[in-house]
Amino acid sequence: MEGNVTITSAPEAIKPAINRLMWLALFMIFIGVAGAVYAQIIGHHHAFANTREMPWGMLIGVYAYFAIISTGLCVLAAFSHVFGGNRMAPVANRMVWLSIMALLGAFTVIGLEIENPWRMPLGVILHPNVTSNIWWMGTLYGMAVGIMLLEFGLILTKRFTAAVIFGVLAAIAESLANSNLGSVFASLSSHPFWYGAQLPIFFLGSAVLSGAAAIVLFTHYSYILQKKEIGEYTFLSLQTAGKIMILMTFLVSVATGWKFANAYSGSEAMVMAADSLTSGPLSTNFWVFEIGIGLALPCLLLVVTRLKSVYVMSTAALMILVGQFFSRFNLVVSGEIVPANYGFVGVPQYFSYSPTVAEYLLVIAGFGVVGFGFLAGEWFLGKVFHHKVFHPHTDIDHH
């Protein structure tokens, strides 16, 4: 029907492939939950590598990773829906769905990581602390996922004007939650490498970069599953996302450079934290994965190929998401790795941190949730992602 979205499930031809991948995703979730149960039985202090000196580890970074991707997708979807008829509009519905799934992946990781997960929702509701950054972070992300679920329900029922309104509200909530997530780190004056006003803005920039990369990657994978060529309008959408990736890799690189310029002109603790990334125990993660694979190479690939190949754009998007994963890990560890009493006899220059098997299993669960959500969307929602997109005044046919 012209001007409406007709909801159909995935074509029968691709259901066997999706079914196998969904079982794989469920297995990933299962082993992650098994890791969390193991941690509950033997104690989190035994199962995880966190210590009193380094209370935050890889799982905090992975939570931030998924939450930041969710914010980027939500913000880009809101812009696409509000300004209907633009080139990213054909993939906006998928961005809303993937944003929900990424946030559920973040909730899965943090929920399995904390020792008493049932206290988290009860504490947010029954014991609000409006002076706590972490309380605001949980509240805002909880609001965001609820609003996005309402938005997607309105899309499915073709109430497009109301969906746009809720999409804008979700983007505002996600942006506030994302910048608040940055402030959780940036407000800790005892960790000078985090402290300052830069991180909340840096997180928003990383969100736009990650969201653009995620929509390119998942849209391409969707068409690979269908064994179909990408239509003209969808390809133009991916090219627009590719332009955003080029811009944001440059801006994130500039922000990273200024962060180090500030660190090397600061206290000795800041210099040591920066050195841990440039020449210390985190240098491989930083130079190879965060900078090389995550920023420099994808930007170069996109510029050289002039966004003419969907395979190159998808490869660059995957590299960016890998780099952002290591960026979050590097951020968390580098802010804690310098001992507060460094310089004393017997105190090491840097703390040592290596994630345990249980921590890796919880990370796998987070990816399993996101993967299962993506596949479930492809199976059950069908043409909502592939044929029509909405705007209160205009429609665009993908093909």
CA–CA distances in Å: residue 225 to residues 11, 17, 96, 213, 319: 10, 7, 20, 18, 20
- 211: in domain: yes
Q: Report CA 153 to chain centroid distance, whole Å.
A: 22
**What is the CB neighbour count within 10 angstroms for residue 341?**
8
The pLDDT assigned to 391 comes to: 47
| Residue 339 dihedral angles phi and psi, to the nearest 5° | -60, 140
CB 214 within 8 A of CB 102: yes
- 139: in domain: yes
For the stretch 21-36, pLDDT in tens is 999 999 999 999 999 9
- 317: in domain: yes
Across the chain, where does the E strand assignment appear? 388-389, 396-397
290: which residues sit within 8 A by CB, 6+ positions away? 323, 326, 327, 330
119: which residues sit within 8 A by CB, 6+ positions away? none
- 30: in domain: yes
- 223: in domain: yes
Read off the CATH number of the domain in which 242 is found: 1.20.1630.10
- 376: in domain: yes
CB 7 within 8 A of CB 379: no
User: In terms of Cα–Cα distance, which of 238, 236, 249, 351 is closest to 296?
Assistant: 249
| Residue 145 dihedral angles phi and psi, to the nearest 5° | -70, -35
The pLDDT assigned to 10 comes to: 58
Query: Can you give the pTM of this predicted structure?
Result: 0.92
Total number of domains constituting the chain = 1
CA distance 399 to 90: 10
- 1: in domain: no
Dihedral of alpha carbons 285, 291, 297, 302, sign: positive
**What is the CB neighbour count within 10 angstroms for residue 1?**
7
Query: Which portions of the chain are predicted below pLDDT 50?
Result: 1-8, 387-399
**What is the CB neighbour count within 10 angstroms for residue 216?**
28
User: In terms of Cα–Cα distance, which of 302, 303, 306, 329 is closest to 315?
Assistant: 302
Q: Which domain, by its residues, includes 309?
A: 13-397
The pLDDT assigned to 12 comes to: 66
- 360: in domain: yes
